[in-house]
Amino acid sequence: MTRKQLAFLLLAASSASVANARLTRLLVTSQEDVAPARPGAPAYRVMRGHYDGEVNPADARNLIITDLSSAPRLANGRVAYRATFAIAVPADLTRTNGFLWYDVPNRGNGSVAADPDGAIRVVSGWQGDLAPQPGAQTLEVPVARGQDGPLTGPVLQRFTDVPAGTRSVAITGSIGRPTARPLPVTPDTHRAQLFHQASDHAALVPVAARDWAFADCRDRPFPGRPDPTQLCLRGGFKPATAYTLTYRGRDPKVLGLGFAAVRDLNAFLRYVARDDAGMLNPVAGLVRWPIITGTSQSGNFTRSLIALGFNASEDGRRVFDGANPNIAARQVPLNIRFGVPGGAAGLFEPGSEGALWWSRYDDRARGRGVSSLLDRCRVDNTCPRIMETFGSAEFWGLRMSPNLVGTDARADLPLPPEVRRYYFPGTTHGGSSVGGFPPGGEKPPAGAPACLMAWNPNPSADTRRALLKALAEWVARGKEPPASRYPTLARGELVEPTAAAMNWPRIPGEPLPDGKLNAFLDYDFGPGFRYNDLSGVIARQPPAIRQVIPSLVPRVDRDGNEVGGVPSVQMLVPLGSYTGWNVQARGYGAGGGCGFVGGFIPFTRTEAERRSSGDPRPSLEARYRDHAGFVAQVRRVAAEQVQHGWLLAPDAERLVKQAEQSNVLR
């Protein structure tokens, strides 16, 4: 124990706040020593285990949790949950730098490692619809029950790109890690509905109740073996058709407890000396500046945690001082009866119904009134300093536009002083995992969507790494980060998603961006759904579509590369056009957008090739002359990015070395 921890224990012993901690027991079940992240950095110890928590359903901060009032109670009147965790801390606690980085797991995928700067790294389970499984961060939550029987409600599940010849499919939600969906109240197909659909723009066509069943037909013909977890279709499924199943489900899990579980763990690690069993908080007294980060689904979770007031502990103290929602355009549909927090902005999925903006905005287009993501934390002064980062695919695939210009798309929405926003132009969802200067673009991973264009090799991780350093400085020392940089209407950088409006270059043989946007739809989920909080009970499935909300995308230059934001070195020394959109090659939705996959259209090598093909974009030869000229450009641009704070020096050195080793104009 360090002197800092001893002083913390003495202070906590006289504080009534210890009794208010809602994490009741933290159990470390395994420990592992980990080598330093780099020479001279501290060695680490990784602790894994689970923790138990209890939530007071009468506390005003918990009342927003859907179905919490119907959850079973302990003898003390509280509602219990259990979550997994992993904590990485320097083996020599005196080398801890005071930061705690909580990285929200994405669909249970979360791990910790040695930090080069001595920060504490933490992950834990929050998604209660994931089954406990090795290697996953999961959360066990209770099932809500009514006074006169089970709670029920409509459930929706969609199936697309089902392989030809498939006779039955599992009724599972989410992507990445499938999750079990609620069981139907009855297997009678006359009390449920199945629709097929040729495209997202086509009408839903009912399938006769006699032609499908809650059954498993994998080893016997239709109607198969009765099974409430499987959907069987007479004649089998078609790959180019989407199927939408709606039925009345039972026994909802109290998924909104996921917000409380993250709140309670981090409040405990920051403020409390021991759990209720007397076990020492393993980082007691070491946490000065906790910061939460989340990417994609986890970034949506981060936005919702703040919006729903869970950055305040049950005793009213701020939990996180900083937050980085990364490539997150929506909120997470977690606090909903029968919610699917692992969805991905598909047709009929909730997620964009609540506030999407950091400043207060009157959502007249949807009739929702004035709101912001910071309304609750402003009341009790628990707002963190927020650094929002995102890229091109979030405009095209995840409906980012209203975050910047509202639902009427008429004017830029201002940012409040505690928020910075940085845009990564021309990136796929999350940026390239390869980076550098790979020839011909990035290679698709196994199981990736079939897209017509090459995968986008433009990264965002280098820029984000520098920005997270700036966030830490902002949180700990009040040092202002760089001014926000993102496309705006005022500068003419946001336009309609068409080739004509974007000034897209006409490249022979290459697709146009028209029709590749995932439209922002205004849904009617029926009474009982609290739209502004993305919470409550959905009464109408599938929802009615009220209207299409206008959406804008960034304008491009003569190369087809986006303007505005913080471009990467690869974008500033381009090898082609980097897009946040792509084209679905086959299957359901062929010809439309290809998920969240960005595209890449390489420049021709020589001017002769350019003239022969009719490509309007200058060739690599015209831009850089030869390989040495290309490397010189990379070296100059990388140095400028370091000078302006957009790139760390070690990353700049790596990029220059990759450029030297590349085959560009060899």
Which has more confidence, 217 or 11?
A: 217
Torsions phi, psi for 613 (to 5 deg): -85, -15
More confident residue, 199 or 5: 199
Q: 328 is written with which tokens?
A: 């997150």
CB 238 within 8 A of CB 192: no
The Cα–Cα gap between 200 and 589 comes to 7
Alpha-carbon torsion (331, 378, 69, 292), positive or negative: positive
Dihedral angle of Cα 7, 13, 19, 21, to the nearest 10 degrees? 10
Banded pLDDT at 520 (limits 50, 70, 90): very high
Nearest to 255 by CA among 155, 109, 125, 373: 125
Residue with tokens 């020839």: 439
What distance in Å separates the CA atoms of residue 353 and residue 323, rounded to the nearest whole number? 22
Per-residue model confidence (pLDDT) at position 1: 62
- Element holding 299 (H helix, E strand): helix 297-307
CA pair distance 390, 296, nearest whole angstrom: 9
Kindly report the average pLDDT of the chain as a whole number: 95
- Rounded mean pLDDT of 305-313? 98
**Residue range 273-288: average pLDDT?**
96
- Confidence band (pLDDT; 50, 70, 90) for 18? very low
Position 19 scores a pLDDT of: 43
Among 560, 575, 454, smallest CA distance to 502 is for 560
In this prediction, residue 447 has a pLDDT band, given cuts at 50, 70 and 90, of: confident
Helix %, strand %, coil % of the chain (to 5):
20, 25, 55
* SS3 call for 105: coil
pLDDT confidence bin for 9, thresholds 50/70/90: low
Q: What is the pLDDT of residue 11?
A: 56
* pLDDT band at 443; cut points 50, 70, 90: confident
> For the stretch 52-88, what's the b/e string if a residue is b when 16 or more beta carbons lie within 10 angstroms of its beta carbon?
bbbbbbeeebbebbbbbebbeeeeeebbbbbbbbbbb
- Nearest C-alpha neighbor of 81 from the set 132, 18, 20: 132
Give the Å distances, CA to CA, from 93 to 312, 363, 430.
27, 49, 33
pLDDT in tens, 464-505: 999 999 999 999 999 999 999 999 999 999 999 999 999 999
Structure tokens at 627: 């390989």
Distance, CA of 339 to CA of 182 (rounded, Å)? 10
pLDDT of residue 246: 98
Q: Which residue type sits at 597?
A: V
Q: Which two tokens stand for residue 579?
A: 């897009």
Taking the C-alpha atoms of residue 154 and residue 193, their distance in angstroms, rounded to an integer, is 11
Per-residue pLDDT reduced to its tens digit, 371-389: 999 999 999 999 999 999 9
DSSP state of 580: S
**What kind and span of H or E run contains 180?**
strand 179-180
Question: C-alpha distances in angstroms, 608 versus 141, 612, 626?
Answer: 65, 6, 15
628: Cβ contacts below 8 Å, ≥ 6 apart: none
Q: 282-298: string of b/e by CB count within 10 Å (b at 16+)?
A: bbbbbbebbbbbbbbbb
Tell me the per-residue pLDDT of 332-374, one tens digit each, with 9 for 90 and over. 999 999 999 998 899 999 999 999 999 999 999 999 999 999 9
User: Going by C-beta distance under 8 Å and a sequence separation of 6 or more, which residues neighbour residue 378?
Assistant: none
- Alpha carbon distance 550, 522 (integer Å): 10
Average pLDDT on 242-248 reads 98
Tell me the whole-structure pTM to 2 decimals.
0.96
High-pLDDT (> 70) share of the chain, %: 96
**pLDDT at residue number 439:** 59
CA 272, CA 290: separation in Å to the nearest integer?
14
Does pLDDT of 46 surpass 90?
yes
pLDDT at 146 over 70: yes
Give the Cα separation of 343 and 498 in Å (integer).
27
The predicted pLDDT at position 297 comes to 97
Q: Which helix (H) or strand (E) holds 423?
A: strand 419-424
Q: What does the alpha-carbon distance between residue 182 and residue 154 come to, in Å, rounded to a whole number?
A: 10
**Quick one: what percent of the chain has pLDDT higher than 90?**
91
φ, ψ for residue 221 (rounded to 5)?
A: -70, 165
What are the phi and psi torsion angles at 469 (to 5°)? -60, -40
Burial annotation 527-561 (CB, 10 A radius, 16+ → b, else e) = eebbbbbbbbbbebbbbeeeeebbbbbbbbeebbb
Q: What is the pLDDT of residue 15?
A: 47
Name the β-bridge partners of 323.
292, 386
The CA distances from residue 261 to 55, 127, 154, 536, 567, in Å, are 9, 10, 27, 19, 37
Confidence at 12, pLDDT banded by 50, 70, 90: low
pLDDT band at 440 (very low <50, low <70, confident <90, very high): low
Task: Single out the residue of 243, 236, 217, 245 nearest to residue 164, CA to CA.
Answer: 236
CA 642 to chain centre: 28
Q: What is the per-residue pLDDT for 17?
A: 44
The pLDDT tens digits for 551-609 are 999 999 999 999 999 999 999 999 999 999 999 999 999 999 999 999 999 999 999 99
Mean pLDDT within 394-409: 98
